[in-house]
Amino acid sequence: MSTPDGVGRLSRLFRRLLPGDLGAEVCDTMDRRHEERRARHGAAAAWVSHAAHLLNPHTWFLAILLRRRQPTSRRSLFGLGFSWLDVKLGLRMLHRSPGLTVVAVLALSIGIPASLIPIHGIDAMGAPLPFDEADRIVGIRNRDVATRRPDRRSLHDFFGWRRELTTFEAIGAARTDPYNVISEDGRAAPGRGAEMSASGFRILRVPPLMGRHLLESDEVPGAPDVVVISHELWQSRLAGDSDVLGKTVEIGPKPHEVVGVMPEGFLFPWRDHLWLPLRYRPTDFAPGTGPDLTVFGRLADGVSIDDARAELETIGARLAGAYPATHGQLRPQVMGYTEMAWGRSDGLDRAGMYLTQLVALALLMIVCGNVGTLILARTASRSGEIAVRTALGASRSRIVSQLFLEALVLALGSAGLGLFVADFIAARFQEAMPLEAPFWLDLGVKPRTVAVALSVAALCAVVAGVLPALRATGRGVGVSLQGVAARSGMRFGRASTFLIVAEVAMAVGFLTMGGTLTYALLESGPVVSEIDPDEYLMMELSIPWTDHGATEDRFESMYLRAFGAPAVPAFRERVTAVVTGLQDRLSGEPGVRGVAMGSRLPEMEHRGGRVEVDGENLGDGFEGHHVRLATVDIGFFDGLGADVLVGRGFDTRDLAGAPGESRSAVVVNTAFVEHVLGGRNPIGRRVRYVVPTGRDPGPWYEIVGVVGHLGMNALAPARDEGMYHPAAAGELYPVWMAIRLGEDPLAFVPRLRRIASEVDPEAMIQYPQVLSDAPNIDKTVNLYSYLLLLFLCGITLLLSAAGLYALMSFTVSQRTREIGIRTALGARPERILIAIARRAFLQLVTGIAAGVAVGVGLLYSLRHANIPGPDPALTLAACSAFMLLVGMTACLEPTLRGLRIQPVEALREG
Amino acid sequence: MSLGELQQLAMLAVARLGPGAYGAAIQDELAEVAGRQVSVPTVYVTLIRLEEHGLVRSTEEPPPDGRGGRARRVFEVTPSGWGALHEARAASDRMWRGVAQP
């Protein structure tokens, strides 16, 4: 029935709303009534009357009744206009195109979870504490606007805030440190603990499992030494003793009475296992000094975080005015506790992470677009089916819905598979993280991540399903009916062209990066460190901070800023005593072949810096050579058993003067000589750190010796150009020690702990392990990033190849008749080949050209990060050639199919 | 079940129309005889609800001219529908009995 356009749209809407034969009958009747009204009252009045049906509740009630009458298999899914039959059909189509299904599932099951890493990270890191009304628990701290860093020496402020702030129910503070817990048998083991104010427990609202919390009365100087312990500590060190309350535990040199046990999982403020009273008084410290504190509070009822912020800012401004020397540069901040705990200057960098999220989603959309291209190509082969369904009365929206549903089934299935794998990988990753993560961090997949993933999957289905479907059903469907499967009138449009080009470019880019990193890894393979890391026991030696003032070093010189050193003389003396005492004891120990101490040990990730060589003039843009750095004791190389290849190692004369400027001797390694000095004689040559323009250049250091590779770069051991500075015992803190033992180094750990506790009951042996298992978060992150990159590389390659294959198949199926006629007219095969493959080849070449541009940028950044690689031009040429080969291979089968077309067959189809 | 007014009128229209009782005709009958202007969806909602309660039943009738057009659903009153109609009428009569307009 012909209706004016506006009414036609209304009628179509009613037909969608009212399903089934009876629905169609209702719609026919409504259309007829409309025609009658139009004849009698005019088009406008008739249209208004027709449209009024939309407002009639009976229309909607009828829609529900009619849907209820639909057979189960045809019933709509979630009111979206799909039926279970559509789902079954979708699954069947996926089964019938296994190649497409595998490629698409691979792409989406990696692409969807990978694209959600940023938002998942934000959620996991900023997750609220697992406590009652945790969103009311906030962190408070000062930020130094000059250094842009948090200043946590807030003892005075803590007491001031506690006294003055009215927007908080309570304010607490904690200071964490490792403690030696010595059990009755004399065994010492370190445990992270916190001195925490009694108010802290009230803020957290977690009742003790046994006994009590810490009380204000415990904080009074001279009060009995008490401790509250974690469930884990109670189980592991005290064997879950049910009579533990009232017993004493030695923490460092002092016995403490256990007054409470907290429930399992309570490890506030980070991952702490024991809580001691916080006994610092502001009178003992000048303002702006004292221990580093984590201050936190619970917002009062009815108070928002903005109210608290406003009140705190007022107090901050008053203090800044009253005490410009100590508070002039400090600005108090309030933020969610878990955000603050990560220690960034502004809490979690949400803006940056959300931006990364957007970029990740944009990349995912390219992947989806490519899957869409494949679906479009397959849809082309179904143009006959679509034409028949259209002729039988299926509306365009019905067909688009069906194609969307097929893509949705694919995307949801892939997202589910991807999330399952991602959850598994996240668990492994969390286990592999060498540093202690905060107790609330759970990298596992959360309901919100699942919800976001499903939404993203739906978005993918729109991009990969609806856009091709709209294109496939847009024009020429009627033409298709003439020759059912011959032609559809569909075209690969600009979007598809762009996607294929983008995918090829990305593939070349990823290939370049993946190839270079693989080269770096392979090249590093044969590089044997001078030492065998399996022979060494490594550990961190630390001593609790006890009334020595701030531990944070504030030296301005590059030398000390890079490595840190105990800034407080009393503490330095203590470290010296422990280190030398331990060295003496170990040197007389049977089985110990050497002891080395440093800010870093071989196999650990070393910090980097940029240096220049005296007499070298490499122009204004020269940013310096990137080298790895370590500060080591003078017996470091001997202790490791590493030979000094040229010149000499460190000795006592190198320690003359204060640490820093006056000590000029440095030892470099062979990679330094090769890559920084270009193989020139290093001895006597001078180097210094490159500083930003306008600042005083630091002192020159003189190279006195050369050692071999000692594992300063975990990712690329061959490119570990590095430099060692000398330090006296006591100038390094925390101290990493490597003890050369030979076979089974771990067996020495109990003996080592005993020796350490004999030297100083508070000396702690932390993270003891074989040197080859060095804690190395960068190594772990690098490994996972590398694997992800390899996956992305594979997927983009696969997708670009599949995209080209689809394009070629599509071209051949579209031009069957033309090819047949050309063949009949005697066209030579090569001309036909050009006709078929020209477009795919052009896209391939354009993509490769764009990819080379991307690759140049990536290679530059890799070079900048000092990651070695083969010759850049060679890398790009090889990657381009490989991509060309893959692309051509993908085009081969459809091209051959095109060349085999027989004129008779083609004409029959036409 | 007790019948609503519209339900009663719709069943009577079905009964009056006999074999020609399909949606549009019922709507016309309601308008012309009972003076009730009801929308097409309202007519069908009423008929479907009646059918769900077993008071009318419907069969699909081929298109009247044998080609083109669409099959349409023709309604008839079931025995229990007749029972409900009689009961409604009797109740109404009983109520009217003894009623005198002042």
| HEC letters along A758-810 | HHCCCCEEEEEEEHHHCCCHHHHHHHHHHHHHHHHHHHHHHHHHHHHHHHHHH
For residue A895, the SS3 value is: helix
Question: Which residues from chain B sit within 8 angstroms of residue A37, using beta carbons?
Answer: none
Of the listed ranges A31-40, A151-160, A863-872, the one predicted with least confidence: A863-872
Question: Which residues from chain B sit within 8 angstroms of residue A51, using beta carbons?
Answer: none
A68-93: average pLDDT:
66
Contact between chains at B49 and A29 (C-beta distance less than 8 A): no
To the nearest whole Å, the CA of A840 is away from the closest chain B CA by 48
Please write the tens of the pLDDT for every residue from A390-426: 777 777 777 788 888 888 888 888 999 989 988 888 8
To the nearest whole Å, the CA of B46 is away from the closest chain A CA by 9
For residue B24, the chain A residue with the least C-alpha distance is A29
Question: Which residues from chain A sit within 8 angstroms of residue B45, using beta carbons?
Answer: 58, 61-62, 65
Nearest CB to B39: which of A32, A56, A66?
A56
Residues in A whose CB is inside 8 Å of some CB of B read: 21-22, 24-26, 28-30, 32-33, 53, 56, 58-59, 61-62, 65-66, 69
Nearest CB to A29: which of B40, B45, B48?
B40
What are the φ/ψ torsions at residue A360 (nearest 5 degrees)? -60, -40
pLDDT over 90 percentage in chain A: 17
Nearest CB to B73: which of A25, A30, A56?
A25
Q: How confident is the model at residue B15 (pLDDT cuts 50, 70, 90)?
A: very high
CB A585 within 8 A of CB A591: no
Nearest CB to B23: which of A29, A59, A65?
A29
Q: Are strands A274-277 and A188-196 parallel, antiparallel or unpaired?
A: parallel
Q: How confident is the model at residue A82 (pLDDT cuts 50, 70, 90)?
A: low
Tokens of A640: 């490791």
pLDDT of A85 over the 80 cut: no
To the nearest whole Å, the CA of A8 is away from the closest chain B CA by 18
Q: How confident is the model at residue A900 (pLDDT cuts 50, 70, 90)?
A: confident
pLDDT of A482 over the 50 cut: no
For residue B48, the chain A residue with the least C-alpha distance is A65
Contact between chains at B41 and A32 (C-beta distance less than 8 A): no
Mutate to test the interface with B, among A35, A62, A68 (most CBs of B within 10 A): A62
Between A902 and A855, residue with greater pLDDT: A855
Instruction: Say if the ipTM goes beyond 0.90.
Output: yes
| Tokens 């009024």, located at residue | A52
Whether the full predicted model's pTM is greater than 0.80, yes or no, is no
Nearest CB to B39: which of A28, A32, A58?
A58
Contact between chains at B48 and A26 (C-beta distance less than 8 A): no
pLDDT of A502 over the 50 cut: yes
To the nearest whole Å, the CA of A56 is away from the closest chain B CA by 8
pLDDT over 70 percentage in chain A: 84
B20-46: average pLDDT:
93
pLDDT of A486 over the 50 cut: no
Contact between chains at B60 and A21 (C-beta distance less than 8 A): yes
Mutate to test the interface with A, among B43, B44, B72 (most CBs of A within 10 A): B44
Please write the tens of the pLDDT for every residue from A345-365: 455 566 667 777 777 787 787
Question: Which residues from chain A sit within 8 angstroms of residue B41, using beta carbons?
Answer: 26, 30, 53, 56, 58-59, 61-62
Question: Which residues from chain A sit within 8 angstroms of residue B27, using beta carbons?
Answer: 29, 33
For residue A497, the SS3 value is: helix
pLDDT of A327 over the 80 cut: yes
- Could you give the CA distance from residue A694 to residue A631 in angstroms, rounded to a whole number? 27
pLDDT of A188 over the 70 cut: no
Contact between chains at A26 and B45 (C-beta distance less than 8 A): no
Question: Which residues from chain B sit within 8 angstroms of residue A26, using beta carbons?
Answer: 23, 40-41, 44
Contact between chains at B45 and A61 (C-beta distance less than 8 A): yes
To the nearest whole Å, the CA of A825 is away from the closest chain B CA by 47
Contact between chains at B40 and A28 (C-beta distance less than 8 A): no
Question: Which residues from chain B sit within 8 angstroms of residue A66, using beta carbons?
Answer: 48
Question: Which residues from chain A sit within 8 angstroms of residue B70, using beta carbons?
Answer: 21, 24-25, 28
Please write the tens of the pLDDT for every residue from A216-258: 999 988 899 999 999 988 888 788 888 889 988 888 667 889 9
pLDDT of A35 over the 50 cut: yes
Question: Which residues from chain B sit within 8 angstroms of residue A24, using beta carbons?
Answer: 70
Please write the tens of the pLDDT for every residue from A725-772: 998 887 777 788 999 988 888 899 889 988 988 888 878 887 788 887
Of the listed ranges A281-285, A800-804, B14-18, the one predicted with least confidence: A800-804
Specify the long-range contacts of residues A341-345, CB closer than 8 Å, at least 24 apart: A341/A139, A341/A269, A341/A270, A341/A294, A341/A438, A342/A125, A343/A150, A345/A143, A345/A148, A345/A149, A345/A150
Tokens of A762: 């508070």
A161-167: average pLDDT:
91
For residue B69, the chain A residue with the least C-alpha distance is A28
Report pLDDT for A786. 72
* Residues linked to residue A610 through DSSP beta bridges, in sequence order: A626
What are the φ/ψ torsions at residue A514 (nearest 5 degrees)? -60, -40
Between A488 and A906, residue with greater pLDDT: A906
Question: Which residues from chain B sit within 8 angstroms of residue A21, using beta carbons?
Answer: 60, 70-71, 73
Tokens of A408: 């949705």
Contact between chains at A29 and B71 (C-beta distance less than 8 A): no
Of the listed ranges A614-628, A746-760, B42-56, the one predicted with least confidence: A614-628
For residue A370, the SS3 value is: helix
Average pLDDT, chain A: 80
A620-646: average pLDDT:
86
- Count of positions (residues) in chain B: 102
Report pLDDT for A276. 92
Q: How confident is the model at residue A484 (pLDDT cuts 50, 70, 90)?
A: very low
Residues in B whose CB is inside 8 Å of some CB of A read: 23-24, 27, 39-42, 44-45, 48-49, 60, 70-73
Amino acid at B60: E
Mutate to test the interface with B, among A18, A35, A58 (most CBs of B within 10 A): A58
Rounded alpha-carbon distances, angstroms, from residue A552 to A128, A129, A310, A548, A567: 28, 27, 30, 11, 7
Between A573 and A909, residue with greater pLDDT: A573
To the nearest whole Å, the CA of A402 is away from the closest chain B CA by 25
Question: Which residues from chain B sit within 8 angstroms of residue A59, using beta carbons?
Answer: 39, 41
Of the listed ranges A97-101, A185-189, A395-399, the one predicted with least confidence: A185-189
Nearest CB to B70: which of A24, A30, A59?
A24
Q: How far apart are the first and last CA of chain B?
A: 33
Please write the tens of the pLDDT for every residue from A152-161: 888 889 999 9
Instruction: Provide DSSP, A159-193.
Output: HHHHHH-SSEEEEEEEEEEEEEEE-TTS-EEEEEE
